[in-house]
A and B are shown apart, each in its own frame.
Chain A
Amino acid sequence: MSSGYFLDPETVIERLRSQGGRAWRTLRFVLRDNSAKLGFVIIVTFGFMGIFGPMLAPYHPIEDTLQQGGSMMRLQPPGGKAVLGTTSFGKDILSQFLAGARPTLIVGLFGGVGTGVVGFLVGLTSGYFGGRVDEFLMRLTDLTFALPFLPMALVILSFVTPSIWIITAVLVTFLWKMPARVIRSEVMTVKERTFVKSARARGAGHLRTMFLHVAPNVLGIGFLYTAYAVGWSIVAGASLAFLGFGDPTTTSWGRMLEQVFRSGAIRVAWWWVLPPAIGIGAVTTGVFLVGRAFEEIVNPDLQTEQE
């Protein structure tokens, strides 16, 4: 094989650098939108909580049982020792909320990025090569479209002990089809543009054409769907946890909701329900707000924005 079929490191570095600059410009452009600013603040706060939350928590979310006057603080409304109240087992809700951000962040981030990357690569390959490759990969996506997410996920998780990484993997398995479909159709449009044929005429191999000429021009949509996939993953991860298929060893927002439901106190203990519910709602909304502002540049004219 000739070197034309490989990417030389110099070109790759140069490309990555220019993509970095592009990301920065894009971010600044996105943040001109007010609701995107709000979304961005939410995401940053959430990221901060995900990283430092467990350290900030005043108590251990599971091991510490709050006592007051010798008895366990059961279902205490906010106030006193427990700023956000307690659970029916006397655990501090603020601590659970802060600690619960991390698994949610991990599921969201890795589930989203994993979905984006797998979907992008599948879509790129499928759209670029077409023919049999496309046929095979698209039938595979059809298959994942045909399988209902929750029942299948529940079946899988019944056989293995759910850990946060397994849950992330399950999410990616079921979500990659969305970006794959969209990226594929986008690639098929870009592929027909003259500059792709021109690259071939200049001697570029498939790999080079695919990654240096086609990919950068669909990257925007890829990121957009990655952002959305973060939102989907958080919601889907929380749903699984709510149904009792979360990681039993960690506290996540979805698991908090499961516990409040199980305890039968869901109608009264608003202080137990609201923090995780608002948390999930705010983060997904934040992601979508930024995604929406981003979509405006991706669609239709990412090209003109840089001038």
Chain B
Amino acid sequence: MSLLEVDDVKITYRMPGDDVHAVNNVSFSIDEGDNYGLVGESGCGKSTIAKSVLGLLDDNGDVRSGSIRFDGRELRDLSERDWMSVRWEDIAYIPQSAMDSLDPVMSVGAQIRQAIRKHRDVSKAKADERVAEVFEMVGLDPTRTGDYPHQFSGGMRQRVTIAMALALDPDLIIADEPTTGLDVIVQDKILNKLMELQEELGSSLLLITHDVGVVAETCDEVSVLYGGKVMEQGDTDRVFRNPTNPYTMGLKNAFPEVDEFDEQAISIPGSLPDLTEEPTSCVFENRCPFATEECGASHPDLVAANEQLSACHHVDEADEMRDQAKDPETWGIDVRNEVERTGGVGDVILETDGLEKWFKQPQGILDDFRGKEPDYVKAVNSVDLTVHEGEIVGVAGESGCGKSTLAEVIAALQDRTGGEITIDATPIDDLLAENTKEFRSQVQFIFQDPFDSLNPRQRVRAAVSEPLKIQGHDPETIDRRVRQTVEDVGLKPADKYLDQLPAQLSGGERQRVAIAQALVLEPTLLICDEPASMLDVSLKANILNILREMADDRDIGIVYISHDLASLTQIADRLAVMYLGRIAEMGATEDVVRTPKHPYTASLLAASPRTDPDADRKRVLLPGEPPNPVNLPTGCNFAPRCPKAGEQCYRGDPERSECTEGDHEAACYFPVEDVETELLERYIEAREDDVEEVLEGGMTP
């Protein structure tokens, strides 16, 4: 008998007007000790299923039919009192955002202890022992149980929630996007820990994520969900090696591997089906390039295909579909003749020289009075960056490395504290001195969050025409250029979109409006701060394509900032890797990715999860966390975490010219030659030798 059996479950949400059929006839089962993955994009019903297993559906959600059995016991019939004993005791939960799931006014130890004592009749001392134990299990320093959540970094807080989930030795752990929002290196460490623990404890894991790579690396079995339906189900390796369902193919191909330069990522056209009625056709029909009449008639049942189950009317043509699905043209994407990525194609459009942005730390009035030099956070520290016309320069780095600050300083949204910025051979101060209008017409910005970057009260027309109005153009020109730009970013026909409010648009459409806002002034430099990171994977490629097109056709220089290496390698001509306010490595994207010189770059690249289930990847167990940016160590910033660091690294800070190979520069005295032996294996050794040091990692702000 399986540990958890979800059988033919239907869940609806009552909404004013219509019911939303969030989950439709989903079945799966998890065996004891197994890792099960539910993968799909937002709105596919994966979190709803998790909540129903925990009995924590929102008030307007109902399990309409089907059964959820845990250890042979029907969970749907449980009373609230019964639930109390099942939750945490048998089924524990690791929520997505560890930032919000811990009580900020209670020490983390007390929160775990509370969970223990709620269920077990044990003394406080006994409970504390257990807290220390689970802390040790997840690799946290047991002496820190008295600390409060804000004293931990994001990754450490996620460990605390894992520790909390483990406290009662549950049979099943449900992890809802446990690493989303964490940096790749931290993600790698957390996943590694989770797998290790599970091995040790023998509990089952239900992992919910949108990241195909994470599932492919961690789960034994997987269900691919779309529109509240299981599209494909089976052994993870088989499902991702030989997908038999067009949706799985699309999803997998939308995740480019970091080092795949030749394959263009695809994006799935269209948007999610309307779930206000029970689906009568295949839920994927409206976006599927292989759809036929048959697909419109009914939603296919799950049928055996190869050795997995797939819900597709054309399972028998799976092999042909799989080949075609790799071709972006199948998905309606114009394949552009790859312009030779050389870098430095046109004139220099942006040049920064020793750019600095230091944030002054607050200090006491007394210290001020005594003339004490305040502490600074060196968010951007002597950065030299050059962008040419028609070139996309990627800036990669983890959160807190200063990449967003760099973007905003270049766009004059923040003042710089040192160095020079030159735009089109004019110093930025001269541009700003006259009036900002001129500057704004040359430099534009695209923000990360399309759900927040449009004024909810402004219609598309008003939003896109605003920059032109500010520049003082006449109404006719405005109207013409607005229409042109809106269509250029793929919102066709323009009339359909111009009178919409942002709330009426999907995430992808909103981001296009934001891009149109930026492009309508025909800037020469465009700065994009994670423009695709809030979008579903199937939409990402589209945004990247638009940007690429703009760079090629309009000769715009683009600075593309992201933590997502895979999308950077897809789009960027040259790549800069930032660590703690400095550029650690810079060069043509292919050179940087193929032959990283700086140990940090190499670690970052190695930490990206692979969607190919066959890929055997060593986890990046980079010790510690980035040091506190207020008191940076002297010498190379990365030295304390670097296995290759020598005495020289602690004494002097290497210049970027320290290690050069053509255009490829790295600020390192001892560049990496072999990632495997020099870094990955050394990390594991370092970890075994000195666990304590790992625990004493500093905090990220």
Size class of the contact patch on chain A:
20 to 34
Q: What residues of chain B lie closer than 8 Å to A208, measured between beta carbons?
A: 470
Q: Choose one: B437, B452, B475, B504; the contact of A203 (CB below 8 Å).
A: B437
Are A194 and B469 in contact, with the CB atoms below 8 A?
no
Q: What residues of chain B lie closer than 8 Å to A307, measured between beta carbons?
A: 501, 503-504
Q: What residues of chain A lie closer than 8 Å to B472, measured between beta carbons?
A: 2-3
B457 CB–A CB distance under 8 Å: yes
B517 CB–A CB distance under 8 Å: yes
Min CB distance, B357 to chain A, in Å?
16
Docked CA distance A202–B462 (Å): 13
A63 CB–B CB distance under 8 Å: no
B448, B454, B469 — which one has the most chain A CB atoms within 10 A of its CB? B469
CB contacts under 8 Å to B, within A1-60, are 2-4, 8, 10-11, 14, 18
Docked CA distance A10–B479 (Å): 14
Among residues of A, the one whose C-beta sits closest to the C-beta of B437 is A2
A10, A195, A197, A212 — which one has the most chain B CB atoms within 10 A of its CB? A195
Q: A4-B470, A303-B456 are in contact. Are A194 and B437 (CB under 8 A)?
A: no
Q: What residues of chain B lie closer than 8 Å to A306, measured between beta carbons?
A: 501, 503
CB contacts under 8 Å to B, within A228-263, are none
| Count of B interface residues, CB-CB < 8 Å | 35
Are B453 and A203 in contact, with the CB atoms below 8 A?
no
B101 CB–A CB distance under 8 Å: no
A81 CB–B CB distance under 8 Å: no
Are A202 and B456 in contact, with the CB atoms below 8 A?
no
Contact stretch, chosen from B293-301, B438-446, B605-613, B636-644? B438-446
CB contacts under 8 Å to B, within A200-242, are 200-205, 208, 212-213, 216-217
Are A203 and B456 in contact, with the CB atoms below 8 A?
no
B447 CB–A CB distance under 8 Å: yes
CB contacts under 8 Å to B, within A132-176, are none
Among residues of B, the one whose C-beta sits closest to the C-beta of A198 is B453
Q: A203-B437, A307-B504 are in contact. Are A194 and B453 (CB under 8 A)?
A: yes
Among residues of A, the one whose C-beta sits closest to the C-beta of B462 is A14
Docked CA distance A8–B474 (Å): 12
B514 CB–A CB distance under 8 Å: yes
Q: What residues of chain B lie closer than 8 Å to A200, measured between beta carbons?
A: 413
Min CB distance, A299 to chain B, in Å?
15
Q: Choose one: A8, A197, A216, A217; the contact of B469 (CB below 8 Å).
A: A8
B65 CB–A CB distance under 8 Å: no
**How many inter-chain contacts with C-beta < 8 Å in the A-B complex?**
84
Among residues of B, the one whose C-beta sits closest to the C-beta of A213 is B455
Are A3 and B470 in contact, with the CB atoms below 8 A?
yes
Are B457 and A193 in contact, with the CB atoms below 8 A?
no
Q: What residues of chain A lie closer than 8 Å to B514, measured between beta carbons?
A: 198
Q: Choose one: A195, A205, A216, A304; the contact of B452 (CB below 8 Å).
A: A195
Q: A2-B436, A217-B457 are in contact. Are A201 and B469 (CB under 8 A)?
A: no
Docked CA distance A213–B471 (Å): 17
Min CB distance, B536 to chain A, in Å?
19
B679 CB–A CB distance under 8 Å: no
Docked CA distance A170–B470 (Å): 40
Q: What residues of chain A lie closer than 8 Å to B469, measured between beta carbons?
A: 8, 10-11
Min CB distance, A30 to chain B, in Å?
16
Kindly supply a per-residue 1/0 record for chain B positions 129-151, scoring 1 wherever the CB is within 8 Å of any chain A CB and 0 otherwise. Answer: 00000000000000000000000
Docked CA distance A208–B458 (Å): 13
Q: A3-B472, A208-B470, A216-B457 are in contact. Are A203 and B447 (CB under 8 A)?
A: no
Docked CA distance A45–B321 (Å): 71
Are A195 and B455 in contact, with the CB atoms below 8 A?
yes
Min CB distance, A305 to chain B, in Å?
10
B467 CB–A CB distance under 8 Å: yes
Are B466 and A199 in contact, with the CB atoms below 8 A?
yes
Are B437 and A4 in contact, with the CB atoms below 8 A?
yes
Among residues of B, the one whose C-beta sits closest to the C-beta of A14 is B462
Q: A2-B435, A203-B437 are in contact. Are A197 and B413 (CB under 8 A)?
A: yes
Among residues of A, the one whose C-beta sits closest to the C-beta of B411 is A201
CB contacts under 8 Å to A, within B461-507, are 462, 466-467, 469-472, 475, 501, 503-504
Contact sample, A vs B, 26 pairs, CB 8 Å cutoff = A2-B435, A2-B437, A3-B470, A4-B471, A11-B462, A14-B462, A18-B459, A194-B447, A194-B452, A195-B453, A195-B456, A197-B447, A198-B517, A199-B466, A202-B440, A202-B444, A202-B517, A202-B518, A202-B521, A204-B466, A204-B470, A212-B455, A216-B457, A217-B455, A303-B456, A306-B501
Known: A199-B466, A217-B456. 15 other contacts (CB 8 A): A2-B472, A4-B436, A8-B469, A10-B475, A193-B452, A195-B452, A198-B445, A198-B447, A198-B514, A199-B455, A201-B413, A217-B457, A304-B503, A306-B501, A306-B503
Nearest first, the 4 closest Cβ-Cβ pairs linking A and B are: A203-B440, A201-B445, A194-B453, A4-B470
Q: Name B's A-contacting residues (CB within 8 A).
A: 411, 413, 435-437, 440-441, 444-445, 447-449, 452-459, 462, 466-467, 469-472, 475, 501, 503-504, 514, 517-518, 521
